[in-house]
């Protein structure tokens, strides 16, 4: 049974993708467990996958008849051969284009290829085919490479991927787009850019982060009847706003500003006052009762721009605040250094962002009372490595950050990752319009406000991530280019009041 996966936007219910994410080795073990438990062959799953693909393609592209099915040397190609046989049976015209000759295949893939040939099908070799002379396809099926891609694609395979991407037809990826490392989300030299992907058994964690978000297109999942046995823990959990918004229950009628938390935001150095203003506004719009801003003394008070924000010229650790935010517009001068040193040792929840993280990188320490929110560049400085190393495996990077620094770590980027030392959550809400100044300041303010209202560090960070991403998706309805961080503020208020 295909489970349709579509993100709910702007608070509409839709279909939520709140479900486990898996590593490729876990998927293999689930397949093997199913075969033992059911007393069946794994080839039966290949037949089921082919049938699911045929039904799926006919549903989404009902007018298509000429299918080009690119098949590879492994089980992903075997799924493609089964699909071709079933498509031909229902009167369609599949053309099978192979990266490896059928007689060179092994195991279940060879069995599927033999069944296709026995049914009267034929195969043309990708390296020899003159595709330009053929009738163009209505639909392209990418069944080249599956979950076993861990090294860069060969030149021959890279050429086939380029051919697929150049065709003027929708592309359906089988299990995952060819060239994608299913565990890390990195493109291994070349990547098919699919219109839709039908993945099997479970969603692979790399499909929703890094390069995966560009290759997958619209994502759907068919379990093929395989269910994880009790006690099996997924590699990560995909979270979204529809799945978590039930936590945002109405306040008791007796609530007052003191019961909704006090937040102190420290930053706003010369030329960067906007950062602390955005963080403070996000705090207020997320529901913090009182917010103070500790900014550079030579600047006019931010309360001139937003009267509900209070200025604070005293020390940063007078015991007033329940939650502190350190970093938005903090800078790297002597004033910034002194503020960092005063605040870093205080007790109570602390959110570190921007230059707060850059100062921490200069003097690493491990604490459990903070939430760290680095982007890849800040993460690289915290780990003393290149940005490319962060991008190569974001899951490994967020785990390493949490082990080294403690607390809860949120690694920003396409497919935001949150690690609390026990589990990893992935939020893939949000859009490219967020690639502009001030978005991270909003996130810090949102998380701080949720901490101040009583959520744990782990849950406040998860809630903060989905509210932030969902607000950005709502704001992007008017266009991603030119979207400002402040455009999210009205949506943040709406999203933290889902039942009102």
* Chain centroid offset of residue 37 CA: 33
Annotated ligand binding at 275? The verdict is: yes
The tens digit of pLDDT for each residue in 150-185 reads: 999 999 999 999 999 999 999 999 999 999 999 999
Supply the pLDDT for residue 314. 65
Supply the pLDDT for residue 258. 85
The Cα–Cα gap between 141 and 58 comes to: 12
Length, in residues, of the chain: 500
Annotated ligand binding at 268? The verdict is: no
Supply the pLDDT for residue 13. 37
Annotated ligand binding at 148? The verdict is: yes
Supply the pLDDT for residue 348. 94
Residue 285 pLDDT > 80: yes
Annotated ligand binding at 375? The verdict is: yes
Annotated ligand binding at 75? The verdict is: yes
Annotated ligand binding at 199? The verdict is: no
Annotated ligand binding at 77? The verdict is: yes
Mean pLDDT over 91-106 rounds to 96
Mean pLDDT over 106-135 rounds to 93
Supply the pLDDT for residue 14. 38
CB burial of residue 337 (10 Å; 0-12, 13-18, 19+): middle
Annotated ligand binding at 369? The verdict is: no
Residue 316 pLDDT > 70: no
Task: State percent of the chain over pLDDT 70.
Answer: 95
Mean pLDDT over 340-367 rounds to 96
Q: What is the dihedral of CA 341, 346, 352, 355, to 10 degrees?
A: -10
Annotated ligand binding at 76? The verdict is: yes
Supply the pLDDT for residue 317. 62
pLDDT band at residue 6 under the 50/70/90 scheme: very low
Annotated ligand binding at 454? The verdict is: no
Annotated ligand binding at 147? The verdict is: yes
Mean pLDDT over 75-98 rounds to 97
The tens digit of pLDDT for each residue in 430-480 reads: 999 999 999 999 999 999 999 999 999 999 999 999 999 999 999 999 999
Q: Among 10-19, 104-113, 223-232, 301-310, which stretch is predicted with the lowest mean pLDDT?
A: 10-19
Annotated ligand binding at 152? The verdict is: yes
Mean pLDDT over 261-280 rounds to 96
Query: Is there a contact between 155 and 182 (Cβ–Cβ < 8 Å)?
Result: no
CB burial of residue 386 (10 Å; 0-12, 13-18, 19+): exposed
Annotated ligand binding at 356? The verdict is: no
Residue 87 pLDDT > 90: yes
Residue 500 pLDDT > 60: no
Supply the pLDDT for residue 319. 84
Annotated ligand binding at 146? The verdict is: yes
Supply the pLDDT for residue 302. 81
**Angle, nearest 10°, between helix axes 107-118 and 43-60?**
60
Supply the pLDDT for residue 492. 98
pLDDT band at residue 17 under the 50/70/90 scheme: very low
Supply the pLDDT for residue 7. 36
Mean pLDDT over 261-287 rounds to 96
pLDDT band at residue 499 under the 50/70/90 scheme: confident
pLDDT band at residue 132 under the 50/70/90 scheme: confident
Annotated ligand binding at 329? The verdict is: yes
Residue 315 pLDDT > 70: no
Annotated ligand binding at 149? The verdict is: yes
Supply the pLDDT for residue 305. 87
The tens digit of pLDDT for each residue in 181-210 reads: 999 999 999 999 999 999 999 999 999 999
More confident residue, 169 or 300: 169
Supply the pLDDT for residue 8. 31
Annotated ligand binding at 414? The verdict is: yes
Q: Locate 466 and state its tokens.
A: 């989905």
């Amino acid at each position: 049974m295909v489970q349709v996966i579509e993100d709910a936007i702007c608070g509409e219910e839709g279909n939520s993708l709140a479900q486990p994410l898996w590593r490729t080795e876990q998927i293999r073990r689930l397949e093997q467990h199913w075969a033992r438990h059911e007393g069946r062959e794994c080839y039966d799953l290949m037949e089921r996958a082919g049938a699911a693909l045929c039904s799926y393609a006919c549903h989404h592209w009902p007018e298509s008849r000429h299918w080009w099915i690119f098949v590879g040397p492994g089980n992903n190609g075997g799924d493609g051969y089964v699909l071709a046989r079933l498509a031909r049976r229902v009167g369609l015209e599949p053309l099978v284009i192979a990266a490896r000759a059928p007689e060179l295949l092994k195991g279940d893939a060879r069995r599927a290829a033999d069944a296709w040939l026995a049914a009267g099908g034929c195969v043309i070799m990708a390296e020899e085919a003159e595709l330009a002379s053929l009738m163009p396809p209505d639909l392209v099926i990418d069944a080249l490479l599956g979950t076993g891609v861990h090294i860069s694609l060969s030149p021959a395979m890279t050429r086939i991927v380029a051919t697929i991407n150049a065709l003027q037809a929708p592309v359906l990826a089988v299990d995952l787009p060819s060239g994608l490392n299913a565990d890390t989300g990195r493109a291994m030299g070349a990547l098919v850019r699919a219109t839709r992907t039908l993945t099997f058994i479970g969603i692979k964690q790399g499909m929703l982060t890094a390069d995966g978000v560009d290759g997958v297109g619209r994502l759907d999942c068919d379990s093929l009847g395989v269910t994880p046995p009790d006690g099996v823990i997924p590699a990560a959990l995909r979270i979204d706003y529809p799945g978590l918004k039930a936590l945002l229950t109405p306040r008791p009628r007796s609530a007052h500003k003191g019961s909704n938390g006090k937040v102190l935001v420290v930053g706003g150095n010369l030329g960067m006052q906007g950062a602390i203003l955005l963080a403070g506004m996000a705090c207020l719009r997320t529901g913090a009762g009182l917010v103070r801003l500790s900014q550079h003394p030579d600047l006019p008070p931010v309360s001139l721009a937003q009267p509900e924000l209070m200025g604070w010229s005293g020390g940063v650790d007078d015991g007033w605040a329940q939650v502190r935010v350190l970093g938005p517009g903090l800078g790297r001068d002597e004033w910034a250094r002194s503020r960092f040193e005063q605040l870093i040792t205080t007790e109570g929840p602390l959110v570190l962002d921007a230059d707060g993280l850059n100062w921490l990188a200069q003097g690493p320490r491990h604490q459990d009372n903070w939430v760290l929110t680095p982007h890849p560049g800040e993460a690289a400085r915290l780990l003393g490595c290149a940005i490319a190393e962060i991008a190569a495996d974001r899951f490994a990077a967020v785990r390493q950050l949490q082990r080294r620094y403690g607390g809860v770590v949120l690694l920003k980027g396409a497919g935001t990752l949150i690690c609390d030392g026990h589990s990893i959550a992935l939020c893939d809400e949000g859009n490219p319009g967020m690639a502009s100044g001030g978005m991270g300041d909003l996130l810090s303010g949102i998380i701080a406000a949720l901490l101040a209202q009583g959520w744990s560090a782990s849950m406040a960070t998860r809630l903060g991530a989905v509210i932030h991403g969902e607000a950005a998706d709502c704001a992007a309805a008017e266009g991603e280019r030119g979207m400002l961080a402040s455009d999210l503020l009205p949506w943040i208020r709406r999203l933290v009041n889902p039942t009102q």
